[in-house]
Amino acid sequence: MPELPNSTLAATAAEPRTTGATGEGTSVLEAARLVLLRDLTLAFRRRGQLVQPLAFFAIVTTLFPLAISPELARLREVAAGVIWVAALLASLLALESLFRDDAYDGALEQYALSGQPLTGLMFAKTAAHWLLTGLPLALMAPLAALSLGAPAGAVPGIVASIAIGTVALSLIGSIGAALTLGIRRSGVLLALLTLPLSLPVLIFGARASELAIQGASYVAPLELLSALAVLGITLAPLAAAAAVRISLE
């Protein structure tokens, strides 16, 4: 941000203004960048919360060998499904807090009153959520995949499917999180609302990972996954913004 000279406060304060939209107003992109930056800063101030979904993912994927069989051949058959269900639940785990703190401390109200399009700000918040859960999950996926007997050649396919799939999951989740804002202990309701909508993501994501493990081409399900993510990017922030406005009434 460019610095303004010290005298601006006095100068602008002295002359009468007609509207709030002055030449030095913040653009939508800049406002969205600030929202993203704020959420990332806050997340790194509270690292405990940041680590929880990742630890959850790691523990769930290590529970399966204990429950099913330590035989890699058998684990390999379920690896794609296990990784994807664990990623889906881990992403869901972090959703509840997406808007809750903002609603509690009045930040959401200020977003709605900032004069900036709420849709853009919701997109920024969802992007922050993905950077803090989806991306780390994708980076952790190789470890889980290898420990479940997946061949090293399958790693790129699995990482790509989780990275793209969690974009769609974060976006779908943002609608659910916004809709359940007014409700106390919304965790279970949020899951009931979000999980059915996440089914297509789970199906195509697990299919892409499965094909990658088999050494087959996984492009087709990955493309469908990308289509879901793009659909989410265009529609979900609109829905989340509308839900947030309703929650402020």
Partner 1 sequence: MSHEGLEAENLNLWRGERHVLRGVGFAAPRGACLHVAGANGAGKTSLLRTACGLLYPESGRVLWNGRNVHEDLPAFHASLIYIGHEPPLKADLSALENLRFWIGMRRRVGRALLAAALQRVGAAAWSERPARTLSAGQKRRVALAALSLALVPLWLLDEPTTNLDAEGQQLVGALIEEQLTRGGVVLAATHHELPVAAVRVRRLELRLA
How far is residue 151's CA from residue 225's CA, in Å, rounded to a whole number? Answer: 22
Closer Cβ to partner 1, 1 or 67, answer by number: 1
The answer to whether 155 touches 137, Cβ cutoff 8 Å, is no
CB 238 to partner 1: min, Å = 15
Indicate the DSSP class of residue 154. G
How far is residue 49's CA from residue 236's CA, in Å, rounded to a whole number? Answer: 24
Per CB under 8 A, the segment of 50-58, 78-86, 110-118, 213-221 that binds partner 1 is: 110-118
Instruction: Please name the residue that has the structure tokens 């000279």.
Output: 5
How far is residue 42's CA from residue 80's CA, in Å, rounded to a whole number? Answer: 33
**Binding test (CB under 8 A) with partner 1, winner from 77, 117, 193, 195:** 117
The answer to whether 99 touches 181, Cβ cutoff 8 Å, is yes
Residues 14-73 close enough to bind partner 1 by CB under 8 A: 14-22, 24-26, 30-31, 34-35, 37-38, 41-42, 45-46
CB 46 to partner 1: min, Å = 6
**Binding test (CB under 8 A) with partner 1, winner from 60, 78, 85, 107:** 107
CB 181 to partner 1: min, Å = 14
**Binding test (CB under 8 A) with partner 1, winner from 1, 66, 67, 73:** 1
The answer to whether 118 touches 112, Cβ cutoff 8 Å, is yes
Interface size with partner 1, residues (CB under 8 A): 47
The answer to whether 37 touches 125, Cβ cutoff 8 Å, is no
**Binding test (CB under 8 A) with partner 1, winner from 56, 111, 123, 218:** 111
CA distances from 34 to 1, 26, 50, 120, 240 (A): 11, 10, 20, 11, 19
**Binding test (CB under 8 A) with partner 1, winner from 2, 48, 66, 185:** 2
Nearest partner of 95 among 139, 56, 60, judged by Cα: 56
How far is residue 128's CA from residue 98's CA, in Å, rounded to a whole number? Answer: 9
Per CB under 8 A, the segment of 87-95, 102-110, 179-187, 213-221 that binds partner 1 is: 102-110
Residues 184-223 close enough to bind partner 1 by CB under 8 A: none
Residue 105: how many CB atoms within 10 A of its CB? 10
How far is residue 87's CA from residue 145's CA, in Å, rounded to a whole number? Answer: 12
How far is residue 144's CA from residue 87's CA, in Å, rounded to a whole number? Answer: 11
Per CB under 8 A, the segment of 104-112, 140-148, 162-170, 221-229 that binds partner 1 is: 104-112
Q: Per the structure block, which two tokens stand in for 6?
A: 């010290």
Closer Cβ to partner 1, 15 or 73, answer by number: 15
**Binding test (CB under 8 A) with partner 1, winner from 59, 63, 71, 115:** 115
**Binding test (CB under 8 A) with partner 1, winner from 80, 82, 83, 116:** 116
Instruction: Give the footprint of partner 1 on this chain (CB under 8 A).
Output: 1-6, 8-9, 12-22, 24-26, 30-31, 34-35, 37-38, 41-42, 45-46, 101, 105-107, 109-117, 248-249
